[in-house]
Amino acid sequence: MSVRKTIYDVAVLAGVSEATVSRVLNNNPRVSAENRERVLTAARALRFKPNAQARLLAGGRPHTVMLVHPTSSKPPTWYFQLLESGALRACGQHGLRLQNHFVFPDSVRRDAAILHPVDNGECDGVVLAAPFSDDPLIIRALQLRHIPLILLASGHATRGLAAGVGMDDEAAGYEMASYLLKLGHRRFAFVLGLKDHLSAAERFDGARRALSEAGLDASAMPGLEGGLNFDYGFDAFHRIMASGYRPTAVICANDESAAGAIHAAHQHGLCLPRDMTITGFDDAPFARLLSPPLTTISQAIDTMAARAVDILVDVIKTVDRPYETVKPRLVVRASAAPPRD
Amino acid sequence: MSVRKTIYDVAVLAGVSEATVSRVLNNNPRVSAENRERVLTAARALRFKPNAQARLLAGGRPHTVMLVHPTSSKPPTWYFQLLESGALRACGQHGLRLQNHFVFPDSVRRDAAILHPVDNGECDGVVLAAPFSDDPLIIRALQLRHIPLILLASGHATRGLAAGVGMDDEAAGYEMASYLLKLGHRRFAFVLGLKDHLSAAERFDGARRALSEAGLDASAMPGLEGGLNFDYGFDAFHRIMASGYRPTAVICANDESAAGAIHAAHQHGLCLPRDMTITGFDDAPFARLLSPPLTTISQAIDTMAARAVDILVDVIKTVDRPYETVKPRLVVRASAAPPRD
DNA sequence: CTGAAAGCGCTTACAG
DNA sequence: CTGAAAGCGCTTACAG
């Protein structure tokens, strides 16, 4: 159809050289305000889209953003898939490439693994996903290198350290517990993540705040430490039942562990949600496929990742950005019901 | 670290011009066998990887493969995610780009939607995912344009028409039913897809063959038509219970509908898998998270997609390729057990 | 069959 | 602040 416009077309229409067009497109400050204006309007008029391939070839810079993510099982989990798809979408719009960098969170060489591509000049900026975004040491190391940095889904402790996006986990926990309190629940259990998983801990804090405002003390919601997966949720639920304590609602720190808890509950012969309320966090793609379909809190992970890239390009252009927080959204499905008694 | 090698380095080492190197890399037949050999060994010695950006820029050809996929809910389902990730992996290896093309299967303009980018010269080849790979008309239209074509997961009817990869669905159905027969089941129900979903129908055929070999007739496994999603599986299970017929095993044509059936079974107060066996197909990422974890048949979708791209590059090089079939693999989890009686 | 040369669309020293 | 020019790594007519 319509032939693709090049930088040359824009230059002609704007009455400047191609170099000048390139400069304004790359936010180079050495351009007069007037020329910048002319180029911008010309580009807009021609619906000009820079050819990403050519930029990569010509530029000294890699024009790529590095997404650092913990190594996980193969094939990649839904979480990473959503992260990537959101980031990819935003990268496409900005003419950037996405380089996925998987690193083992527990490796002794994790810092080196993250720093190496940066020192090697392979990227223009990095977005650090959890749990790396919770580590002040690697954040500091990255900042010493003056590489634009975005924190994704970090815990409160590191949010002041760099630009980023994350959910308000405390509010999420508060919202979930408030909902369950409204349903009439008074005896809870909370299935936590590993202790270095800060957002799980914040969800717990938020839930406790809700209970405390309702006049309940901490003993109304014991927390069980462990991990954020199916097996752990399964195990945690069995431990609760074995303890003799009988909550009417079990809040799990993510949807995978909630799935495990649901399975354990079925094994105990419980009829859900009549005999027990079980909830998750994240609104994973499978949440609506569980039995019963899971009541949870939506994270909009792909949107967050896209936002992270948007913020990163601002940071690359040296515009200041605060840490952004997105509001949790309760997704009511069938796994939460009023307590039986 | 080690500086990236270019075509120039290879040319010098092989003692030929860059043009010749480029020709052998692009499988241009106008190169002497001797020079081809020298270039290949030189490239190998230097661990040369062509710069994809430069190829795209220089070549007249788009160097991209188009993956045609039915439009689905946002965000993309796990199925498409796996397809894409497999295709992406293979494209990366071949220095190709992947262009995802979503088209509405029910649109009157579906053919135009698929043909347009092809006529526009936007891709070097196309891989057609189901259900498009089941449509002889669009296959023919594509072939008339002499664009390299791969069929992905097509039904038997179209497998002779072009190169491709797919699972042996009939064998998959056979394997699942055989397993359940071995467990002792004799009364089944089969939850089908829509009638134009051929692979679901073939799974049904395979299952019937297993029953027939076991001396059971067709009435031992009534089939329920519908769709391949949670709601339909849910609905189908309720219909079975309402009918008065009491199978001991319900085979669902995919994992989503199995999830729905499981939920319906729980609502009927059944204890799974003791009171009822329910199985799926695909081994979707969520299959192990259901309660009980789902016994199913693995499709290895990402591997198939990667294979599709590999075959496509052969076809582009005009080497003949048959339709390849991958063997189904039974994944035994907890949702299938011997019948109670 | 093979090489010299032009060119893909952009960026970036280099002068001014 | 701005333009002319070289160059990124590769491909492809064009001659031979």
Q: Identify which has the larger pLDDT, A52 or B75.
A: A52
B285-335 residue pLDDT tens: 999 999 999 999 998 899 999 999 999 998 988 888 999 999 999 999 999
pLDDT confidence bin for A240, thresholds 50/70/90: very high
- Identical topology for domains A64-167+301-327 and A169-298: yes
**Residues B113, B142: contact at Cβ < 8 Å?**
no
Closest CA to B289 of A228, A298, A295, A263: A263
Q: Classify A290 as helix, strand or coil.
A: coil
Is the model's pLDDT at B134 over the cut of 60?
yes
**What average pLDDT is seen over chain A?**
91
Nearest-neighbour CA in chain A from B161: distance (Å):
31
pTM score = 0.86
A133-184 residue pLDDT tens: 999 999 999 999 999 999 999 988 899 999 999 999 999 999 999 999 999 9
Does the beta-carbon distance from B75 to A85 stay under 8 Å? Answer: yes
Residues of A with CB below 8 A from B292's CB? 263, 266
Of A44-48, A314-318, B188-192, which gets the smallest average pLDDT? A314-318
* β B323-326/B163-167 pair status: parallel
**Strand D closer than 7 A to residue B26 Cβ:** yes
In the prediction, which pLDDT does B2 show?
47
Nearest-neighbour CA in chain A from B256: distance (Å):
7
Give CA–CA dist B293/A181, Å, rounded: 31
Residues of A with CB below 8 A from B81's CB? 78, 81, 85
Residues of B with CB below 8 A from A81's CB? 78, 81, 85
Residue A269 zone, left/alpha/beta (φ > 0; ψ -120 to 50; rest): left
Q: At what angle do helices A33-46 and A7-14 cross, to 10 degrees?
A: 120
A27 CA – D6 C1', rounded, Å: 22
Contacts of A298 (CB under 8 A, 6+ apart): A282, A283, A328, A329, A330, A331
Q: Strand pairing partners for A325?
A: A166
Topology of A7-50 in CATH?
434 Repressor (Amino-terminal Domain) (1.10.260)
Order of all β-strands in the sheet with B188-191: B223-224, B188-191, B249-252, B277-279
**Strand D closer than 7 A to residue A51 Cβ:** no
* CB proximity A259 to B under 8 Å: yes
Give the residue whose CA sits closest to D5 at C1'.
Answer: A19
Nearest-neighbour CA in chain B from A83: distance (Å):
11
* CB proximity A271 to B under 8 Å: yes
pLDDT confidence bin for A281, thresholds 50/70/90: very high
Q: Strand pairing partners for B73?
A: none
Q: Identify which has the larger pLDDT, A322 or A195.
A: A322
* CB proximity A308 to B under 8 Å: no
Query: Tokens 């002779």 belong to which residue?
Result: B160
**Residues A240, A230: contact at Cβ < 8 Å?**
no
Q: Identify which has the larger pLDDT, A62 or A330.
A: A330
**Strand C closer than 7 A to residue A57 Cβ:** yes
Residue A22 burial (CB count, 10 A): 19
* CB proximity B120 to A under 8 Å: yes
Architecture of domain A64-167+301-327: 3-Layer(aba) Sandwich (3.40)
* CB proximity A237 to B under 8 Å: no
In the prediction, which pLDDT does A323 show?
96
pLDDT confidence bin for B114, thresholds 50/70/90: very high
B29-62 residue pLDDT tens: 889 999 999 999 999 999 888 887 788 888 777 7
Provide, rounded to the nearest whole percent, the portion of chain A with pLDDT above 70.
Answer: 97
Residues of A with CB below 8 A from B77's CB? 285
Does the beta-carbon distance from B53 to A51 stay under 8 Å? Answer: no
DSSP string, A14-76: HTS-HHHHHHHHTT-S-S-HHHHHHHHHHHHHHT----HHHHHHH-SS--EEEEEEE--SSSP
Closest nucleotide C1' to the C-alpha of B58: C8
Secondary structure of B216-267 in the HEC alphabet?
Answer: CCHHHCCEECCCCCHHHHHHHHHHHHHHCCCCCEEEECCHHHHHHHHHHHHH
In the prediction, which pLDDT does B255 show?
96
* CB proximity B82 to A under 8 Å: yes
B19 CA – C4 C1', rounded, Å: 10
* CB proximity A78 to B under 8 Å: yes
**Stretch (H or E) spanning B34:** helix B33-46
In the prediction, which pLDDT does A3 show?
62
Is the model's pLDDT at B75 over the cut of 70?
no
pLDDT confidence bin for A215, thresholds 50/70/90: very high
In the prediction, which pLDDT does A265 show?
98
**Residues A68, B295: contact at Cβ < 8 Å?**
no
A20-57 residue pLDDT tens: 999 998 888 889 999 999 999 999 999 888 887 788 88
- A267 — phi, psi (to 5°)? -65, -30
Nearest-neighbour CA in chain A from B267: distance (Å):
8
Is the model's pLDDT at A1 over the cut of 60?
no
In the prediction, which pLDDT does B73 show?
55
The residue extents of the domains of chain A are 7-50, 64-167+301-327, 169-298
- Helix, strand and coil percent figures for chain A, each rounded to 5: 45, 15, 40
Give CA–CA dist A282/A256, Å, rounded: 9
In the prediction, which pLDDT does A41 show?
95
Q: At what angle do helices B78-94 and A78-94 cross, to 10 degrees?
A: 60
Architecture of domain A169-298: 3-Layer(aba) Sandwich (3.40)
Does the beta-carbon distance from B291 to A293 stay under 8 Å? Answer: no
In the prediction, which pLDDT does A236 show?
97
In the prediction, which pLDDT does A335 show?
98
Over residues B65-86, the mean pLDDT reads 81
